[in-house]
Amino acid sequence: MTETSMKIRLPVACFIMQIILIIIFGVLVEYDDGTDARKFHELQKTNGTTDIENEFYFRYPSFQDVHVMIFVGFGFLMTFLKRYGFSSVGFNFLIAALALQWATLMQGFFHGMHHGKIHIGVESMINADFCTGAVLISFGAVLGKTSPVQLLVMAIIEVTLFAVNEFILLGPLGAKDAGGSMTIHTFGAYFGLVVARVLYRPNLDKSKHKNGSVYHSDLFAMIGTIYLWMFWPSFNSAITAHGDDQHRTAMNTYYSLASCTLATYGMSALVCHEGKLDMVHIQNAALAGGVAAGTAGEMMLTPFGSMIVGFLAGVISVLGYRFLSPLMESKLKIQDTCGVHNLHGMPGVLGAIVGAITASVASKEVYGDGMADVFPLIASGDIDASTQGVRQAVSLAVTLGMALLGGLITGFILKLPIYGAPPDTACYEDALYWEVPGEEESHGELTTVRTEEGEKLNA
Amino acid sequence: MTETSMKIRLPVACFIMQIILIIIFGVLVEYDDGTDARKFHELQKTNGTTDIENEFYFRYPSFQDVHVMIFVGFGFLMTFLKRYGFSSVGFNFLIAALALQWATLMQGFFHGMHHGKIHIGVESMINADFCTGAVLISFGAVLGKTSPVQLLVMAIIEVTLFAVNEFILLGPLGAKDAGGSMTIHTFGAYFGLVVARVLYRPNLDKSKHKNGSVYHSDLFAMIGTIYLWMFWPSFNSAITAHGDDQHRTAMNTYYSLASCTLATYGMSALVCHEGKLDMVHIQNAALAGGVAAGTAGEMMLTPFGSMIVGFLAGVISVLGYRFLSPLMESKLKIQDTCGVHNLHGMPGVLGAIVGAITASVASKEVYGDGMADVFPLIASGDIDASTQGVRQAVSLAVTLGMALLGGLITGFILKLPIYGAPPDTACYEDALYWEVPGEEESHGELTTVRTEEGEKLNA
Amino acid sequence: MTETSMKIRLPVACFIMQIILIIIFGVLVEYDDGTDARKFHELQKTNGTTDIENEFYFRYPSFQDVHVMIFVGFGFLMTFLKRYGFSSVGFNFLIAALALQWATLMQGFFHGMHHGKIHIGVESMINADFCTGAVLISFGAVLGKTSPVQLLVMAIIEVTLFAVNEFILLGPLGAKDAGGSMTIHTFGAYFGLVVARVLYRPNLDKSKHKNGSVYHSDLFAMIGTIYLWMFWPSFNSAITAHGDDQHRTAMNTYYSLASCTLATYGMSALVCHEGKLDMVHIQNAALAGGVAAGTAGEMMLTPFGSMIVGFLAGVISVLGYRFLSPLMESKLKIQDTCGVHNLHGMPGVLGAIVGAITASVASKEVYGDGMADVFPLIASGDIDASTQGVRQAVSLAVTLGMALLGGLITGFILKLPIYGAPPDTACYEDALYWEVPGEEESHGELTTVRTEEGEKLNA
């Protein structure tokens, strides 16, 4: 077995993790009231709930949109690398499949057990996908430089800490963060950045020629971008309250994204060589408007406010890609493959701040009886709007602290030389972990160069 | 700054337009009753509306399908060009993000203000996406021959005229056109064709070798085709009345498309060299059944009628690609890159005619109490069915007139030499406006030829 | 006309079939109560049904997800072949468009006529798409070795037999199979395998160099895989009863797939050369968890049970690809291009067995009043749970028998030398039936080699 071989490592990791998951599910997990045959029919008898009022019909279309974002959106967004498409979409697939199961357990544990059981349904499925999103953001920071086993281990730890942080924010702190500007984006980004810092590779320039795109890989990445962009309104609104809340959140996000897109194109032409557009900006910064509307999207932000937020997010994201990322690599030794700091980090912090401000000006005149859905603590008179704003701000600080500390610990765990991490010469390279076919050349002769190269790498 | 540089032009256009949009939204736009926290809860108290009866649950899944058509469908359909994939999906993205915002305002203005405010919700979002669709159809006619700034200017003018035309049809004329055979497809196609005529390039053959596909670009285009095909039932039914109307419209469109597909394959083999199938036909003509069911889809067209309409649409569309398009280029000097005349123009007119005929035979026996949803003027006794048919036909004439006149004016505005339009030698070429990576060759060496070529083009 | 030319054959087949379909639809098909303008409004008056309770809102989002699986999922999954992408997605499109129309008629006929008419709505659309799925599975077995006319003929026969088998299972036998482990997957797989056996080509190694993937074709195939994976919960739940049933089925499938994915990655690394992952396994075996949850998914299988089923399905599917498929080709002379035996055959049988076992332990304690939705015959006291289990097992046997016999007959019909089937030297080759552009080489010069090659093949 060579140093990077997955022959034993990956099966062991997958099978052990999956079998443990199955056992815990067997012991702890139950259908919730909307999913269980007996319980839902009892509920219908007791409450007169009609079939269409099953939670499924309120949330399943949103769930599927979120699901597409997690598996197609994140997966294909990362296929921009010329030789790392299999790993981008394939490892994304693997760690998402693990993370959503583990998240079901961790979030179920913290969201409150029912007689010692975790109750699950479509809402827990959305929450599990959300938590998975944070892991995939961190994946973006270390893309191309990690083995699948490292990623699985990272997923397990990150999901656990995500659940703790989410619990602190939504529980004791009473913060609102339906689209996860803090819990998902800020947490996932800074967690991943610190992991990338700890895993810093001084000799990564040996793989530099593979850290870039080719024409068609950029088009594959645009599939990811466009799906993320289109379904972000569903993402932010997926777990908000029924009725006007889901409706409003989706619409705010829609306008934030549209405005962000124009800002991104304008900025990209402005800062790039000869006024040409840079695919990296379009693929990423155009999405920042969705991130930045993640906290305030469910509030009465208004389309006007959403568009301002989206515009700012697009501007700072492009500036980040153009000026900040190179500095972070040279000065801070953070090699952020996908630039998650620009897409999720800064826009996530912006979203948290916008959420705190918007919450602090919430008034009964504007929200009416809808206050109870958006700010239950204000509606019940427990706290006033400015306190809600402060709690939102504190939540951002807690999230940053959890992410930095968690990333630090995780980074050192991932540094152990047992996971089969790629050597500096074979980063951003599918052939290390995949059977890779050649490109077709001379009309039909399969070149085996790539596969041979992969074998050499393994030797 | 070279003649085609976007260094100043694009940022100026994007920022000015977006800032104006933000200001107008701030002044004029409000949440509607289903989106506003206070108002929806008041509505619930007054009317006993349940959460699930919020407009969001009736229309949001359809909206998302339409959204996919606009951004993935149109965007990827146009990636068939071998060197214009970035621009196809990227400019599609840009002008759609602008158009949907401007459409919100224009349509809101014409659909009726509420105490001086435009009220928006999921239905206005669908309508904005619809209007955007018309712009993207016109984009297809001029694809590869325009700068992004030209496209933004075209979008602003076209959206405005679209809203005027839509108002005339649905308001004073009382026409029905839920899927937009007239308002979207006929309008967008003939508008774009006239623009293409005014922008005629006699020396376009200098870029002829780039006006074609390669193997993988055709597969990317099929992503667009298939998504348009699958979601067209949602498109046509997205803003029809609740209940049977949405249900029926979706089903009629489903069968029209299936029938159209068989007609397309048959015709393609019949008219092509050696009986081989032509990807251009499959990518486009198979969709004509959706266009042609855009007006009558919500009516009691029956699956039988829908299938006949779809069949005819497929036949005329393939014939158009094979025989009419070359003639239009050589005789009428209309260089229609995507053949929008065959996919949207003729099938749109067919759809309008089918709509007029179907309306003119509407009867109380067939529609029952559902008449009020489909033909409110007939149900109320204001007009009879044959008058409705006449009004539908008049609507087609008005649409054609508006499109031709609007396209003419727009074409001359776009001819001004200030937008950085591509020279005849650099049409259908991403490298003019994008940083383009090379294709991978010799296993890992990035060729920079394309980028250099782009620089030469700019020099 | 050369031997494989589609110049006459394909138009004749398409036009005749489509015209016959149109005529039968005209004579026999009517809108159902939820789709017809008059009837739905009468229903609302009589029963007080609200708009949101129209079947459309219960099932249309699921329908669209299923639709995506049929056209994008199956279509792109098969684009893995390096030179057969046009045919994979294009013939998939063609035969699906035919099959869904014919299935509407066949299923309508067997599901019960209403005063001599077939009533259709969103549920029949889902069922038609389901039946189409079986045809596309069989297509996977013969992929690359059949002409489009052969495929159309296969579709007509297979849809007919599918409807008969489905009727026997769901009617007289009273079996449950909402996600079609038996009716769709087992039937489609074994039907296709027998057809492939009858069409065995001893000299297929002449096209062997084309029976493989290239880098980007594997990425296109992953689009298909991921969409199938994401939307499988919608597939299995699309026609289950309203409320908890749809909710539970979707969730069971979600966990089965997640578990299957980890099993697949682990097994793939374990059995492959040097521990590298094989794209064939990831693209296919990771989906087996959806197939295997097709029968029991609507039952009270629990997430725990679903995860065990998914795990087993992933394991047997990878083992099948690695060890069984080569044996089936060498010993049984079954050339199964896509390995449908591993993805649909064995997991389908597993799903049927799991369904039989789960049914046989159904109890009133677990299902409560929900029993009537899942097992109406048990709820009504007509049979007990163990009898239901036996009937499920008998259904599997019937399905296998129908598939084997049907495939045998169909295979011999398809062997007639009239359909323009490809010669052994031109299998897995788009250029035989499509106008194929060259790959771009030397920066912009279109190579015409492929097209020339296609002409030579036809000569």
pLDDT in tens, C278-329: 999 999 999 999 999 999 999 999 999 999 999 999 999 999 999 999 999 9
Summarize the confidence of residues B346-365 as an average pLDDT: 98
pLDDT higher than 90, residue B243: yes
Six-digit token string for C361: 């332990």
Query: Would you state the pLDDT for residue C454?
Result: 45
Among the listed residues B303, B296, B451, B321, the one whose alpha carbon sits nearest the alpha carbon of residue B388: B296
pLDDT given for residue B450 in this prediction: 40
Q: Is the pLDDT of residue B459 over 80?
A: no
Least Cα separation, residue B274 to chain C (angstroms): 6
Phi first, then psi: what are they for C188, rounded to 5°?
A: -60, -40
Q: Find the radius of gyration of the CA atoms of chain A.
A: 22
Q: Write the residue in A31, A57, A64 that is nearest to C248 by C-beta.
A: A31
Residue B273: the pLDDT is: 85
**Taking CB atoms and an 8 Å limit, are C242 and A15 in contact across chains?**
no
pLDDT tens track for C46-73 = 999 999 999 999 999 999 999 999 999 9
Interface partners of A (3+ CB pairs, < 8 Å)? B, C
Q: Is the dihedral of CA A156, A157, A160, A165 positive or negative?
A: negative
- Determine the pLDDT at residue B1: 47
Residues C226 and A71: beta-carbon distance below 8 Å: yes
Q: Is C277 helix (H, G, I), strand (E, B) or coil?
A: strand
pLDDT over 90 for what percent of chain B?
A: 93
Q: Give the pLDDT of residue C450.
A: 40
Three-state helix/strand/coil letters over chain A: CCCCCCCCHHHHHHHHHHHHHHHHHHHHEEECCCCCHHHHHHHHHHHCCCHHHCHHHHHHHHHHHHHHHHHHHHHHHHHHCCCCHHHHHHHHHHHHHHHHHHHHHHHHHHCCCECCEEEECHHHHHHHHHHHHHHHHHHHHHCCCCCHHHHHHHHHHHHHHHHHHHHHHHCCCCCCCCCCHHHHHHHHHHHHHHHHHHCCCCCHHHHHHHCCCCHHHHHHHHHHHHHHHHHHHHHHHCCCCCCHHHHHHHHHHHHHHHHHHHHHHHHHHHHCHHHCECHHHHHHHHHHHHHHCCCHHHCCCHHHHHHHHHHHHHHHHHHHHHHHHHHHHHHHCCCCCCCHHHHHHHHHHHHHHHHHHHHHCCCHHHHHHHHHHHCHHHHCCCCCHHHHHHHHHHHHHHHHHHHHHHHHHHHHHHCCCCCCCCCHHHCCCHHHCECCCCCEECCCEECCHHHHHHHHHHC
Residues of C within 8 A of B273 (CB-CB) are 435
Q: In a 3-state reduction of DSSP, which class is residue B214?
A: coil
B6, B18, B42 member nearest A368 (Cβ): B42
How is residue B226 written in tokens? 């298939």
> With 70 as the cut, is the pLDDT of residue B455 above it?
no
Residues 214-233 of B with CB under 8 A from C: 214-216, 218-219, 222-223, 226-227, 229-231
Structure tokens, A60: 């399943």
Residues in chain C: 459
With beta carbons less than 8 A apart as the criterion, state whether B196 and B404 touch: no
pLDDT tens sequence across A131-168: 999 999 999 999 999 999 999 999 999 999 999 999 99
Distance (Å) from the C-alpha of residue A83 to the closest C-alpha of chain B?
A: 9
Is B17 in contact with B10 (CB distance < 8 Å)? no
Nearest to C148 by CA among C76, C229, C84, C191: C84
Say if CB C215 and CB A437 are below 8 A apart.
yes
The three-state DSSP-derived secondary structure of C209-271 is HHCCCCHHHHHHHHHHHHHHHHHHHHHHHCCCCCCHHHHHHHHHHHHHHHHHHHHHHHHHHHH
- The verdict on a CB contact (< 8 Å) between A243 and B56 is yes
Share of chain C above pLDDT 90, in %: 93
- Sort out which chain A residues have CB atoms less than 8 A from B55's CB and list them: 247
> What is the mean pLDDT of the segment spanning A91-106?
98
Residue A286: the pLDDT is 98
CA B12-B17-B21 angle, 5° bins:
150
Mean pLDDT of chain A: 94
Q: Does C276 touch chain A (CB under 8 A)?
A: yes
CA-wise closest residue to C307 among A23, A96, A22, A105: A22
Q: Mean pLDDT over residues C254-269, rounded? A: 98
In whole angstroms, what is the distance from residue A415 CA to residue A11 CA?
A: 20
* Mean pLDDT computed over every residue of chain C: 94
| CB of C361 less than 8 A from some CB of A | no
pLDDT recorded at residue B448: 35
For residue A446, the model assigns a pLDDT of 36
Cβ–Cβ of B89/A219 closer than 8 Å?
yes
What mean pLDDT comes out for the span C139-149?
A: 98
Q: What is the pLDDT of residue C220?
A: 97
Using a CB–CB cutoff of 8 Å, tell me whether C298 touches chain A: no
User: Which amino acid would we find at residue A93?
Assistant: F
Task: Name every residue whose Cβ is closer than 8 Å to that of residue C201 and which is 6 or more positions away in sequence.
Answer: C145, C335, C424, C427
> Which chain A residue has its CA at the smallest distance from B440's CA?
A214
Q: Give pLDDT tens digits for A167-205.
A: 999 999 999 999 999 999 999 999 999 999 999 999 999
Q: What are the structure tokens assigned to B353, written together?
A: 């005619």
Q: Does C121 touch chain B (CB under 8 A)?
A: yes
Backbone angles phi, psi at B170, to 5 degrees: -80, -25
Q: List pLDDT tens digits, range A20-50.
A: 999 999 999 999 999 999 999 999 999 999 9
What's the pLDDT band for C438 if we cut at 50, 70, 90? confident
Nearest CA distance, C93 vs chain B (angstrom): 8
ipTM: 0.95
With tokens 């060759």, the residue in question is B441
The single-letter DSSP state of residue B308 is H
**pLDDT band (50, 70, 90) for residue C419:** very high
- pLDDT category, A409, cuts 50, 70, 90? very high
Residues of A in contact with B90 (CB under 8 A): 222, 277, 279, 282
Q: Identify the DSSP state of B186.
A: I
Count of alpha carbons within 13 angstroms of residue B290, beta-carbon side: 26
Whether pLDDT at A441 is above 90 = no
C254 in A contact zone (CB under 8 Å)? yes
* Phi-psi sector, A115: left (phi>0), alpha (psi -120 to 50), beta: left
Percentage helix, strand, coil, to 5, in chain C?
Answer: 75, 5, 25
Res. A2 pLDDT band, cuts 50 70 90: low
